């Protein structure tokens, strides 16, 4: 072969080699990147070419699929009672992606998870259409209905747990929204509905049970009482405390800590102090223990944990590093103390479970399209904030609150209820409407099947009617009753 032909052959060989290298680079090295690019519409078309799997509550699907009109995305997700379940499921939209359980379990629901490879392969030979798997939740449908109905047109949230396992039984947030109204990709309807919801000042798409923190108010006094018992400041809940009236905040001689009304708080026992919700007693307990001990006890209950997953990530509840007067206020659930409703349900849950705090979780199992279980959650202990002995003392105090104190509206026939009310101050110089709180648990002959936290952020109530006992306790009662009835 002469020299010019050799050069041409060599050049052509280099071109072929470059083509092979480029082809392999695209198919193997950049495959995932190209598959996930928004410009690659074929991936999106395939994603919506078959029905999405469902989210299951009490054995029934609360989501479904329907065909999309006027789009090459064939199927979109639908919801049954969308506003009630949206705080649990999140949304799945052809135009706006997915959130919460819909997003975290997207690979299972679309059928693209590696664990479903056998199902996908089998369907190729059987001719069956591709299907997504299912997400089986821990939710109790009756409890969720009671929570959502109880909140009604009030702005607020409910979180309910099974103290023995940590299973989330209810998670309601109002105002809410229907994810079905923007599940497609129409500019005229779906985009319009989505943008309207995002612009709503009441934030209907915010999951207040998980993602909103509030000053917990007097419900936090249960944690302060636990700190007093665990640190040996007081060991007898029926012994008088060293709590003068008036009581001035530490390092001040002119800032008295007031109680709500003329109530018997001077040197009151912790039992009486929780019954009447004495700010002076629990503020002084917090001051006497100091910020380090108070913060350590709060953290045993789950405060200051930025990575609490249910599997949806919860906002961090905060017991702050604070100076002495602020720490006294933190001890009664004010100042910079902030908590989610889930966090305060965890407090009630740990007390009800004799001091053992279980990790909260919302997904019981993941199913293949043929309903075979491919992953099962195992309950896990998170911490032990109090000893069993001290937990039982706290139970006696919380049950006394419902029997004789501010939580009477949560009383249930034939059931022992422990609870604590709270009315948390809100806004600069307390200019906003207070938040009404109630945390509780129910106890039957078989133990404590449910612990609940309710916060009402805003309602039509005014003046003295804005209280944890008046607004939040009846909702908690209905949720607890729903759980008990469902187990009969």
**For range 78-101, the mean pLDDT:** 96
- Burial of residue 107, with CB atoms counted within 10 A of its CB: 0-12 exposed, 13-18 middle, 19 or more buried: middle
CATH number at residue 479: 3.40.710.10
pLDDT at res. 407: 96
Flag whether 47 is in a domain.
no
pLDDT tens track for 153-187:
999 999 999 999 999 999 999 999 999 999 999 98
Confidence check: pLDDT of 37 > 90: no
Q: Contacts by 460-467 with C-beta closer than 8 Å and gap 24+?
A: 460/153, 460/154, 461/436, 466/423, 466/433, 466/434, 466/436, 467/406, 467/421, 467/423, 467/436
* Number of domains observed in the structure of the chain: 1
pLDDT tens track for 311-364:
999 999 999 999 999 999 999 999 999 999 999 999 999 999 999 999 999 999
pLDDT at res. 207: 98
Q: Give the Cα separation of 276 and 273 in Å (integer).
A: 5
Confidence check: pLDDT of 3 > 80: no
DSSP-derived 3-state class of residue 239:
coil
The pTM assigned to this predicted structure is 0.90
Flag whether 315 is in a domain.
yes
Strand runs (DSSP E) across 336-427, as ranges? 357-358, 363-367, 373-376, 381-383, 416-424
The rounded percent of the chain whose pLDDT value lies above 70 is 91
Flag whether 398 is in a domain.
yes
Calculate the average pLDDT of the chain: 91
Flag whether 463 is in a domain.
yes
Flag whether 177 is in a domain.
no
Q: Which residue has the higher pLDDT, 136 or 467?
A: 136
Contact in structure between 179 and 82 (CB atoms under 8 Å): yes
Confidence check: pLDDT of 121 > 70: no
Query: To 5 degrees, how large is the angle CA 390–CA 394–CA 398?
Result: 170
Question: What's the Rg (C-alpha) of the chain?
Answer: 28
Confidence check: pLDDT of 457 > 90: yes
pLDDT at res. 33: 65
pLDDT at res. 32: 63
Contact in structure between 365 and 375 (CB atoms under 8 Å): yes
Flag whether 84 is in a domain.
no
Confidence band, pLDDT 50/70/90 cuts, at residue 275:
very high
Flag whether 244 is in a domain.
yes
Would you name the residues annotated as active-site residues? 218
Lowest mean pLDDT among 89-93, 254-258, 284-288: 254-258
Flag whether 399 is in a domain.
yes
Q: Give the Cα separation of 445 and 365 in Å (integer).
A: 29
Residue closest to 230 by CA, chosen among 395, 391, 386, 355: 386
Lowest mean pLDDT among 210-214, 331-335, 426-430: 426-430
pLDDT at res. 123: 64
Confidence check: pLDDT of 31 > 90: no
* Domain interval for residue 267: 211-363+383-486
Confidence check: pLDDT of 59 > 90: yes
Which pair of tokens denotes residue 470?
């008046």
């Amino acid at each position: 072969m002469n020299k010019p032909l050799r050069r041409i052959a060599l050049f052509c060989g280099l071109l072929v080699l470059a083509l092979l290298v480029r082809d392999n680079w695209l198919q193997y090295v950049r495959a995932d990147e190209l598959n996930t690019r928004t410009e690659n519409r074929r991936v999106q078309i395939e994603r919506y070419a078959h029905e999405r799997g469902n989210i299951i509550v009490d054995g029934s699907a609360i989501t479904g699929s329907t065909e999309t009109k006027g789009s090459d995305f064939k199927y979109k997700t639908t919801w049954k009672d969308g506003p009630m379940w949206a705080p649990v499921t999140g949304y799945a939209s052809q135009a706006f992606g997915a959130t919460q359980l819909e997003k975290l379990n997207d690979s299972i629901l679309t059928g693209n998870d590696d664990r479903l490879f056998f199902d996908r392969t089998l369907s190729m030979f059987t001719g069956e259409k591709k299907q997504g798997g299912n997400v089986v939740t821990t939710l109790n449908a009756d409890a969720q209905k009671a929570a959502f109905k109880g909140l009604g047109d009030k702005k607020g949230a409910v979180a309910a747990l099974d103290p023995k396992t940590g299973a989330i039984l209810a998670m309601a947030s109002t105002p809410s929204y229907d994810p079905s109204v923007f599940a497609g990709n129409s500019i005229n309807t779906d985009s319009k509905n989505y943008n309207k919801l995002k612009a709503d000042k009441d934030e209907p798409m915010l999951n207040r049970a998980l993602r909103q923190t509030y000053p917990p108010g007097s419900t936090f006094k249960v944690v302060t009482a636990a700190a007093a018992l665990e640190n040996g400041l007081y060991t007898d809940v029926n012994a008088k405390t060293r709590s003068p009236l008036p009581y001035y905040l530490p390092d001040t001689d002119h800032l008295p800590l007031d109680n709500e009304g003329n109530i018997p708080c001077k040197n009151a026992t912790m039992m009486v102090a929780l019954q009447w919700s004495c700010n002076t007693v629990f503020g002084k307990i917090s001051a006497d223990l100091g910020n380090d001990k108070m913060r350590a006890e709060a953290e045993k209950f789950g405060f200051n944990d930025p990575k609490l997953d249910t599997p949806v990530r919860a906002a961090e509840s905060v017991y702050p590093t604070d100076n002495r007067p602020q720490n006294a206020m933190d001890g009664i659930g004010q100042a910079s103390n902030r908590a989610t409703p889930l966090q305060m349900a965890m407090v009630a849950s740990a007390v009800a479970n004799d001091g053992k705090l279980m990790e909260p979780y919302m997904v019981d199992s993941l199913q293949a399209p043929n309903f075979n279980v491919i992953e099962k959650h195992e309950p896990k202990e998170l911490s032990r904030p109090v000893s069993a002995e001290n937990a039982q003392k706290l139970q006696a105090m919380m049950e006394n609150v419902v029997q004789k104190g501010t939580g009477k509206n949560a009383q249930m026939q034939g059931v022992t209820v422990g609870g604590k009310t709270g009315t948390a101050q809100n806004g600069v110089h307390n200019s906003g409407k207070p938040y009404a709180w109630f945390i509780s648990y129910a106890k039957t002959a078989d133990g404590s099947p449910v612990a609940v936290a309710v916060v009402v952020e805003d309602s039509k109530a005014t003046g003295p009617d804005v209280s944890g006992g008046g607004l939040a306790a009846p909702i908690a009662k209905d949720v607890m009753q729903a759980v008990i009835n469902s187990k009969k």
